[in-house]
Amino acid sequence: MFEKLFIRSIEALVPIVAEVVVEYIVEGIKEGF
C-alpha cells in the first residue's frame, strides 16, 4: 500500500521539479550570456 502511494507522490512531484530545474537552467544561461 505505502509503496504505491510513495511512487504516486514521486510521479506527481517529478514534473514540478523538472519544470523548476529547467527554469533555473534557462535563467542561468541567460545570466551567463
pLDDT in tens, 1-33: 789 999 999 999 999 999 999 999 999 999 987
At residue 30, the pLDDT reads 94
10: Cα separation from own chain's centroid: 10
Number of domains in the chain: 1
User: Domain range holding 13?
Assistant: 1-33
Please state, in angstroms and rounded to a whole number, the distance separating the CA atoms of residues 1 and 22.
32
What is the reported pTM? Answer: 0.58
